[in-house]
Structures are given as structure tokens and as C-alpha cells.
Amino acid sequence: MKSANKFPRWQALLLLSICLVAALAPLLPLADYSSMQVSQQLVSPQFTSSPFLGTDAQGRDMLARLIYGARISLSVGIFGTLVALLIGVPFGAVAGLGSPRRDGLMMRLADALESIPMVVFILFMLSVLQEYRIELATVGFGRLQLFFVAIGVLFWLPTARVVRAECLRIKKKAFIDAAHSQGMSSLHIFRHHILPQLWPAIGSMLIITLPRVILMEAFLSFLGLGVEAPAVSWGRLASDGMATLNPLVDAGWLLYLPSIALVGCLLLFQRLASWARDYVNFDT
């Protein structure tokens, strides 16, 4: 039965506003996020005048860096989630709609992959892909794009499991048996009868996976394993802020501003994810 949980309208509008501001950042009247001003080092937030959110240890405007950091963090979340869906949905569908033997073999493979620690896996992927960075750069595939793919590959397994469970449920329905009895091909049945039934689960997994991917990017960037300068993300900014902190310098805003932005965005996504889980009535 569908949940009566109401759609979190204002959270969705706030998230949409954040995404629009990040997407339109080059068109906004912002300072250059990478421009260093030695005379403006560690200026505290003014809130009513420029620099509104202060500057960092190199004199770079924190407001601009936060907005451009949102571009990277949200881009990793969106593209990483799409990669996870592109891998997880076909894998789960093939497993769930196949024979019990094929289903068992594919899920044992998924279990084996899931046992690998995520950080070790992403380090392995980045190191392997780094070996081919020159060849990939010729087609416009840089480290940032490699990072998108590596992050996305980490999160396809939950999607595959959910899609498999939905396929196992749907293929037992009477209308699927009726379609088979009419001589319809398996591909036709999947496209016209099963796939439309999967869209709610796929859409919900999209919303649920997004904050997980963003948090993983922030974690890896905070450890220095993700986004590299001059690119910025909220995790990278938090790492820079932590490195600046010391007993002689009061520059706490360098840490708490990106942390607040990250936590606030994750909480908004989590509210949407909670609604999505209730709406389709499945548990991740």
C-alpha cells in the first residue's frame, strides 16, 4: 500500500534552487574562485558586504568557492548515480528475469564484489585508469570524469538488488503469464510490461543513491583522494579548512561553511529519499 507521506515540497524547491545556482555560477556576479589575493588573506565573513563569507588562506573568495564547489559535488552525485543506474538496472533485470541458475551465479558475483572495501576498490580503479590517462585525455576524459565513473561503479550493487527483487515480483503477475501465452517475445514483454513497472523503483533509487554518492565524494576529497586543485568541491574545501586550523589562527569558517553546505544538502536529499522509500513501499 502506498504511503500517505506528503511530498516534501519546500525541500525539493530548496534543492532545485541550489542546483540552479550551481549550474548558473559562471553567469553570476561572483569573484574568481581560484584568484589569490595576498592582501585579503583570512578575512572573516562580513555577511553584509564583500567578502560576504570571508576568504581563505590564499585570499580566495569563499562564497565563490562554495558555489563552484557545489557544481563539482552535485555533478559527481548526478553523474555517479547515473553510472550506478546504467550498470545496476541491466544487471538486476537480467538476474531477476533469468533462470534460477543464472540468477544465483550473478548474485554470488554481486556478493563477492560487495565484500571488497569501497575505499580499496576506488583506489584500485583510479590507479588503473590513471595508467591510461593520456589516451583518455585525447577523448576529453580527464581525472574528474574518471572520478565520476569510479564513484558510480561503487554504488550499482544496491540498485541491482532492488531491480532484481522488483523483477522477481513482477514476473509472477498474471499479466506476464498472459503475455507469454499470447506468444510475445521476452524483449517485448520486458519493454512494454515490466520496464514501466520498474520506473518507480528506479526513480526512487536515483534519489536514494544521490546523497550517498555525494557523501562518498566528500569523504574521498577530504582525504585527498578525490578532486584535485584547482577544482573545488565541498569535501575539498573542508579538507583545506581543516589544514588551515591551528591554535594561532581563528579561521573556523573555512571548515564550518563547507561542512554546513554539505550536511544541509545531504539532509534535504535524505528527506526526499525517505519520501521516495515510503512512496514505492520498498526498503533499501
Sign of CA dihedral 36, 40, 42, 44: negative
Q: Report whether 106 contacts 95 (CB < 8 A).
A: yes
12-25+51-280: CATH superfamily: MetI-like (1.10.3720.10)
pLDDT at 284: 40
pLDDT at 225: 76
Q: For residue 87, with 0-12 CB atoms within 10 Å meaning exposed, 13-18 middle and 19 or more buried, which class applies?
A: middle
> Domain ranges in the chain?
12-25+51-280
pLDDT at 2: 45
pLDDT at 149: 78
Regions of the chain with pLDDT less than 50: 1-4, 282-284
- Which pTM value belongs to this model? 0.85
pLDDT at 67: 95
**DSSP H helical segments within the chain, as ranges?**
9-23, 62-97, 100-114, 118-131, 133-137, 143-154, 156-170, 174-181, 186-189, 195-222, 234-244, 253-280
